[in-house]
Chain A
Amino acid sequence: MTRKPLCILISMLIFLSVALSACDTSPREVCIVLDTGGENDKSFNEYSLKGAREAAAEMGLDFAHVVSSSPNEYGTNIENFVEEGCDMIITVGFLMGDATAEAARENPDVTFAIIDAAYFPGAGCSVDASDCYTEEGGLGNVTSLMFAEDEVGYLAGTLAACMSETGTIGSVAAVEIPPVVRFVTGYQNGAKAFDPDIETLNVYIPDFNDPADGKQAGETQIYNGADVIFGVGGNTGNAALLAAHEAGVMAIGVDVDQYNTFPDVAPSLLTSAMKNMDVAAGNAVRAYAKGELLPGILMSNMANDGIGLAPFHDLDDQVPDACKTAVNIAASGLKRRVVDTGYTP
């Protein structure tokens, strides 16, 4: 007898909550899944987060973020966001490509944007599909925010080769994934285009979060005569910049202007090969809010100023005009598509 009122009460509550959730008037929510580097990686994750968060606030959307503590969390993190009712989910990084595609297929009502991963028939959707970013391809709700890393890497390489006195330049790269490879390839080819005799050293370290190894690799390159070090890849690459700073050679940052984000090495930082991720992520959020975000690949390159070299800051006086000119010539060549970075996917 005592149970009955309780049952009625509970069923009423359930009914009420269902009814309420149906007429949910809270703003749409933008959610971002960061890679293992975390929100403090001084580059990639930090800036994607910043751009998306600011744009969401600007457009009056709710915002949430989560850091993946290991690659096997990508899927769960995306799923959790879907269950929480996120309307747009941004995933940060090539490594989340598979998890994002899977979630996008299962949740066609949710809009997805992924930074650094593109899908092609045979890689992300069926070989028979003409285009992945359609209903036929299954990814009609996905936008890929891509960057021409090879182009900005090419500029960094040109500058490094011009600045090097030893004729040897180095790059410490993290996991060998397409965006990282584009940076490194562009860097080496840019350097060789400026000086065919330049020696380019590169190391791939299969971890974005191993500063001890990154620093060691940087030091080894410096011992080998490198006097410009390009650090490509999260905390691993950052540690290589630190190695350069400590050894008194020049460092080139990546993804964002690391002069601002990594003050420890600022005095030795020549420039940074920037991908304007905050701009790209922010624009995607704004376009989404206005209902203008289209599925497909949005490419940021030299031609649309989505990438570029950061200012020389403290070292500006030490960069000879000849080097500045060389970089400018290469930049305009890339913009007009007459310079080839030598990167083939």
Chain B
Amino acid sequence: METTTSIPIWKRIWDRLGILGAIIILVLIGIVVSFIQNQQVTTAVLSSTIRQSTPLVLGALCGLIGERTGIINIGIEGQMLMAAFIGYLANVYIGQLGVFSVGMTLFLAALIGIATGALLGLLLAFMSVTLKMDQIIGGTVINILAIGITGYFYQVGLTTQGKLQPIALGRLADIPLVGPVLFDNPPITYITLILVVVVHYMLFYTRWGLRSRAVGEYPSAADTVGINVYLMRYVNTTIAGGFAGLAGVFLTLEAVGSFERLMTNGRGFVALAVMIFGKWTPFGAWGAALLFGFATAMQTQFQFMGNLTIPHQFIGMLPYLLTIVVLAGFVGRSRPPAAEGIPYEKE
């Protein structure tokens, strides 16, 4: 039965890859062409893209794990801010003890930051599962709480104890373009890339993932087959909080090494947009975050061009405009999990 011979080869490739594959190939060709044109700028823009996207991907992962299980998490911003703050303080104070090496101090501080995010996740779960509160209010509570607490306990004149340094992956880091962009990053950037794959696998190829999604789509059916809806929601929202915590830790311990009030600057909310943009899938969110990061990097690069007569405020809109255009024109309708935002009540 040689039916495939009648279909031309390009059509078979097209069917396999679809429009997404075509876009990826076009983007890759674009990168190579621009690299040949100007190595410096291409490397600058792409590595900036990766860095800008890291906290967004982590925030979006936090959002989508929660929403896939039926809990809307609008408090990602607060979780990030609080984790950034506590992780930073932990770094300072553990460092002052002088017991651990710098690496160990940073590691412990990062763990404490992640735990902070997870704890706030637990709080959100408590509010929305046990108290059956409106989840938007619950998330807002976390945001306000984080701004208040970090602002109040913000201390002047703390000295940092180092920050997470880039780790060059041996020979790989010497490859032109790809090396400095992908293989010479600090740890959380690598971890994020791994987490995207891990969460995708967990969500779509494991029992936990299937159960989580069932709880988010049709909790009473899940309950009927013996899944503990409350427990699933508690556990997943808490784990998700850890992701937001890692995003916060990225900002203080990896990106800048210090904490400032309100330093998350809306990244938690952009992460929510990125999650929707990516249709509640890890790879989708990653792609959306990369696009947003790329647009941000481009607007910085455009500002360098002195002969550009457009006011830079307009260039600054680029990431948001691009998001709207792509969201409206190419992504199409995105459908949230059916049971999200609805407190589950056993009958």
Measured CB to CB, the residues of A under 8 A from B are: 36, 38-40, 69-70, 176, 200-204, 206-207, 209-213, 215-217, 219-221, 223-225, 235, 239, 242, 264
Contact = CB atoms under 8 A, between A and B. Distances in A.
Interface string B135-151: 00000000000010001
Contacts of A39: 156
Interface string B255-276: 1111011110100000000000
Contacts of B44: 219-220, 223-224
B300 interface: yes
A204 B303 contact: yes
B48 A220 contact: yes
A225 B40 contact: yes
B79 interface: no
B329 interface: no
Contacts of A206: 313, 316
Most buried by A among B48, B297, B304: B304
7 contacts: A69-B147, A207-B265, A215-B255, A219-B48, A223-B44, A223-B47, A224-B301
B52 interface: yes
B316 A211 contact: no
Interface in B40-77: 40-41, 43-45, 47-48, 51-52, 55
B251 A212 contact: yes
B323 interface: no
Given A36-B262, A211-B263, A216-B255, 20 more contacts: A38-B154, A38-B156, A69-B261, A70-B262, A203-B303, A204-B312, A204-B316, A206-B316, A213-B265, A216-B48, A216-B52, A216-B297, A220-B48, A220-B301, A221-B304, A223-B48, A224-B40, A235-B263, A242-B256, A242-B257
Nearest to B180: A223
Nearest to B41: A224
A176 B312 contact: yes
B306 interface: yes
Interface size on B, as a range, is 35 or more
A224 B256 contact: no
B304 A211 contact: no
B260 A211 contact: yes
Contact of A209 (B51, B263, B303): B263
A201 B256 CA distance: 22
Q: Sorted from nearest, which 5 A-B pairs have the closest CB atoms?
A: A223-B44, A40-B156, A211-B256, A201-B304, A212-B255
A235 B160 contact: no
B226 interface: no
A168 B313 CA distance: 24
B265 to A, nearest CB: 5
Contacts of A224: 40-41, 44, 301, 304
A201 B306 CA distance: 8
Contacts of A40: 156-157
A176 B52 CA distance: 22
Contacts of A220: 44-45, 48, 297, 300-301
Given A69-B151, A264-B160, A38 B261 contact: yes
Contacts of B55: 212
A236 to B, nearest CB: 9
Interface in B129-172: 147, 151, 154, 156-157, 160
Contact of A203 (B156, B262, B304): B304
Given A223-B47, A235-B260, A216 B303 contact: no
A221 B156 CA distance: 30
Contacts of B51: 216, 219
Contacts of B48: 216, 219-220, 223
Nearest to B44: A223
A210 B263 contact: yes
A225 B39 CA distance: 11
A221 B301 CA distance: 8
Question: Which one of A39, A209, A219, A224 has the greatest number of beta carbons of chain B within 10 Å?
Answer: A224
B159 to A, nearest CB: 8
Contact of A212 (B40, B160, B256, B313): B256
B203 to A, nearest CB: 28
A211 B265 CA distance: 10
Contact of A210 (B47, B257, B265): B265
B55, B255, B260 pick with most chain A CB within 10 angstroms: B260
Contacts of A235: 258, 260, 263
A219 B52 CA distance: 12
Contacts of B160: 264
Contacts of A213: 265
B300 A212 contact: no
Interface in B12-57: 40-41, 43-45, 47-48, 51-52, 55
A217 B256 CA distance: 12
Given A211-B255, A212-B251, A217 B300 contact: yes
A203 B303 CA distance: 6
Interface string B115-134: 00000000000000000000
A203 B151 CA distance: 28
A221 B40 CA distance: 10
